[in-house]
Amino acid sequence: MSHETPTLAAERRQKHGSRYSQRLRKAGRLPGVVYGHGADPVSISLDEKITLKHLHGGNHVFNLEIDGGDPETCLVKDLQFGYLGDNVIHIDFARVNLDEKVKVNMTLDFHGTPANAKKAGMVVVHDLAELEIECAVRDLPESLRIDLDAFEDSVHVSDLSLPEGVVAITPGETLVLHVQAPKSSGSDTTEEGDAAEAPAAEGDSSEG
């Protein structure tokens, strides 16, 4: 992998339910579950601050030490958010091994500006924020950096240069972004039309 796999200390949850989960979160703990590889699912809780720090840093794979046991390599499979959509309230992990191929949605990290977007009045329209990829767990990139300076106008998935061992699952013809001129407003057209008709209207009144 492109970075060291972080280790998280997890504790088994003995209780379940929304009220118990709320109490955990108030205490700074993030509820979660670990499943896969033929083993029984395990309900856990993690230090919320530490876990979110790694998630925001682009980590998708962790070594989980449940109640101080042997670390298990786990992949983040799902994040559940609160009703406002701005805070993580639950996390799902799947047990994996480093050679196992997995499919993951990764946020695209854009840098630079397409050549045509540097022209006066042109704007960049982002059509795709995340890309679904497949690769071995050990090849999972920390981020998908897209250097837009290498492009003139539109960018499709098939135009992207992905890290070695990483394959795009999102169809190649999918538009990632494009450059376009700003649309003219209808109000401008109406005002121009009114201005053109004004002299004719004055002429008609003088003839009468």
Strands 29-36 vs 88-95: parallel, antiparallel or unpaired: parallel
Whether 123 and 88 have beta carbons less than 8 Å apart is answered as no
Q: What is the CATH number of the domain that holds 72?
A: 2.40.240.10
How wide is the angle at C-alpha 68 spanned by C-alphas 62 and 72, nearest 5°? Answer: 30
68 and 132 together in one domain: no
pTM: 0.72
User: What is d(CA 70, CA 168) in angstroms, rounded to the nearest whole number?
Assistant: 33
70 and 118 together in one domain: no
Domain for residue 79, yes or no? Answer: yes
| pLDDT value at residue 3 | 60
Domain for residue 188, yes or no? Answer: no
Provide the Cα torsion 99, 105, 111, 113; round to 10°. Answer: 130
Count of domains forming the chain: 2
- Tokens 């670990």, residue located: 34
User: What is d(CA 186, CA 63) in angstroms, rounded to the nearest whole number?
Assistant: 57
Domain for residue 88, yes or no? Answer: yes
72 and 16 together in one domain: yes
45 and 90 together in one domain: yes
Q: What is the CATH number of the domain that holds 138?
A: 2.170.120.20
74 and 149 together in one domain: no
Domain for residue 156, yes or no? Answer: yes
14 and 59 together in one domain: yes
59 and 12 together in one domain: yes
| pLDDT value at residue 83 | 79
User: What is d(CA 93, CA 32) in angstroms, rounded to the nearest whole number?
Assistant: 8
Q: Which value, in Å, is the radius of gyration of the alpha carbons in the chain?
A: 26
Domain for residue 53, yes or no? Answer: yes
Residue 203's SS3 state is helix
| pLDDT value at residue 186 | 54
Strands 7-12 vs 61-66: parallel, antiparallel or unpaired: parallel
Whether 51 and 91 have beta carbons less than 8 Å apart is answered as yes
Q: Which two tokens stand for residue 15?
A: 């209780």
Residues in the chain: 208
| pLDDT value at residue 185 | 55
How buried is 110 (Cβ within 10 angstroms: 0-12 exposed, 13-18 middle, 19+ buried)?
Answer: middle
Residue 1 vs residues 4, 48, 79, 201: alpha-carbon distances, Å: 7, 24, 22, 75
Which stretches of the chain are DSSP H helices? 18-26, 48-56, 186-207
In the chain, the largest separation of any two C-alpha atoms, in whole Å, equals: 99
Q: Which of 96, 118, 133 is the endpoint of a domain?
A: 96
Domain for residue 125, yes or no? Answer: yes
Residues of the domain holding 159: 104-180
Residuewise pLDDT in 10s, the chain (208 residues): 556 789 999 999 988 888 888 899 899 999 999 999 888 999 999 999 999 999 988 889 999 999 999 999 999 999 998 877 778 999 999 999 989 999 999 999 999 999 999 988 899 999 999 999 999 998 998 889 999 999 999 999 999 999 999 999 999 999 999 999 887 655 454 444 444 444 444 444 444 4
56 and 91 together in one domain: yes
